[in-house]
Amino acid sequence: MQDRRLVIMYSGGLDSLIAYHYGRSQGYQPHCIHLNFGQPYAEKELASILRASEWHPSVDVLNFRELYDLFSSRLTNHIIPSRNVLLAVLGSMFGPRIWINALDGEQNGKEHDKSERYFQDVSALLTFTNEFFQSQTVVESPFASMSKGEVIRWALGHGIPREVLFDTSSCYSEHQHKCGTCITCVKRYIAFLENDIEEPGYEVDPLKSQYFAELLIEIPQALQSRDFARFTEKRSAEFMALINRLGVPANG
Ligand SMILES: [Zn+2]
């Protein structure tokens, strides 16, 4: 019988909530673990994670209090160095299969810690390291070939109420629930729009953000030059379909 143990490194964002339900639908028994680095938006994330409802898993929160001061000098923006390496190592202490979410298109990021090579290399390293107590350690993303729009579609199609999805925390702002200008706010707003849903609660309209203006230039350019190093072909096509539907002129 296949081992049904699954460790989900749970950020509290939209993708991790959906990954929990996705894992259960695949017959896994997820153990959700959140690592609190003390980053600027940590309190907001925790509030969204420690919510008790039929839709939310119970989450073990690991705090690195003693390291907060050391970390905080390195956490001046939303990027946490080596984050996914650390998450994989911690997850491997709890079970042989670890989920860290990376969606279609996110594997190409500058940080490399969501890349295909990262998942392959960290799985190989942890399998070798832990061989004496588990024969294989797999670090993977369940959503590697799905876009954010598709992940949301899966969730809605499996009965997760949209309000539960709205309540997840992805925004990098320390003070606002959904600033509407950071990259994650814009990405998730677009992904909901692709499902014909206008997500409420943004401080400013994400379609008026600088990042959206950049997408309007860069995605048509990517399609024209067929250079999908930054945006995958699928994500580019989805984006163009959306802005055509919204009647927004692209500037490529
Ligand atoms: Zn934001």
- State phi, psi for 59 to the nearest 5 degrees: -120, 130
Distance (Å) from CA 182 to ligand 1 centroid: 4
Round to whole Å and give the CA distance between 44 and 15. 16
For residues 77 and 133, state if they share a domain: yes
Task: Decide if 64 contacts 90 (C-beta within 8 A).
Answer: no
Tally Cβ neighbours within 10 Å of residue 193.
18
- Domain membership flag for residue 159: no
Whichever domain contains 77, its CATH number is 3.40.50.620
- Domain membership flag for residue 203: yes
Distance (Å) from CA 57 to ligand 1 centroid: 24
For residues 28 and 101, state if they share a domain: yes
For residues 44 and 100, state if they share a domain: yes
CA atoms within 13 A on the CB side of 204: 13
H or E element at residue 129: helix 116-129
Domain endpoint, select from 97, 118, 140: 140
What is residue 199's predicted lDDT score, i.e. its pLDDT?
A: 97
Average pLDDT of the chain, as a whole number: 90
Residue 44 predicted with pLDDT over 70: yes
For residues 97 and 194, state if they share a domain: no
Distance (Å) from CA 186 to ligand 1 centroid: 7
Q: DSSP 3-state assignment of 246?
A: helix
**Range with the poorest average pLDDT among 54-68, 119-133, 179-193:** 54-68
Query: Quick one: pLDDT band at residue 107, thresholds 50, 70, 90?
Result: confident
For residues 121 and 179, state if they share a domain: no
Distance (Å) from CA 172 to ligand 1 centroid: 5
Distance (Å) from CA 201 to ligand 1 centroid: 11
Distance (Å) from CA 120 to ligand 1 centroid: 31
For residues 69 and 129, state if they share a domain: yes
Domain that holds residue 179: 170-246
For residues 14 and 88, state if they share a domain: yes
Distance (Å) from CA 167 to ligand 1 centroid: 13
Distance (Å) from CA 77 to ligand 1 centroid: 13
Distance (Å) from CA 27 to ligand 1 centroid: 33
- Domain membership flag for residue 110: yes
| 147-171 residues labelled b (16+ CB within 10 A) or e (exposed) | bbbbbbebbbeeebeeebbebbbbb
For residues 12 and 134, state if they share a domain: yes
Residue 139 predicted with pLDDT over 90: yes
Distance (Å) from CA 12 to ligand 1 centroid: 14
Please tell me which residue, 117 or 66, carries the higher pLDDT value: 117
Residue 138 predicted with pLDDT over 70: yes
- Domain membership flag for residue 132: yes
For residues 125 and 47, state if they share a domain: yes
**Range with the poorest average pLDDT among 33-47, 60-74, 168-182, 223-237:** 60-74
Average pLDDT over residues 163-169: 92
Count of structural domains, the chain: 2
For residues 12 and 94, state if they share a domain: yes
Structure tokens at 173: 């702002």
Bridge partners (DSSP) listed for residue 62: 35
Distance (Å) from CA 152 to ligand 1 centroid: 18
Average pLDDT over residues 228-243: 90
Distance (Å) from CA 191 to ligand 1 centroid: 14
Sign of the CA dihedral 203, 205, 208, 211? positive
Round to whole Å and give the CA distance between 219 and 104. 15
Calculate the CA dihedral of residues 87, 31, 15, 173 and round it to 10 degrees.
Answer: -60
For residues 182 and 230, state if they share a domain: yes
Distance (Å) from CA 189 to ligand 1 centroid: 10
Percent of the chain with pLDDT over 70: 95
Q: What's the whole-model pTM score? A: 0.87
Query: Quick one: pLDDT band at residue 74, thresholds 50, 70, 90?
Result: low
What is residue 239's predicted lDDT score, i.e. its pLDDT?
A: 94
- Domain membership flag for residue 251: no
- Domain membership flag for residue 88: yes
What is residue 77's predicted lDDT score, i.e. its pLDDT?
A: 63
- Domain membership flag for residue 156: no
Tally Cβ neighbours within 10 Å of residue 62.
11
Distance (Å) from CA 250 to ligand 1 centroid: 23
Per-residue pLDDT tens over the stretch 58-71: 999 988 777 777 77
Rounded to 5 degrees, what angle do the CA atoms 21, 25, 28 make?
90
- Domain membership flag for residue 39: yes
Distance (Å) from CA 149 to ligand 1 centroid: 18
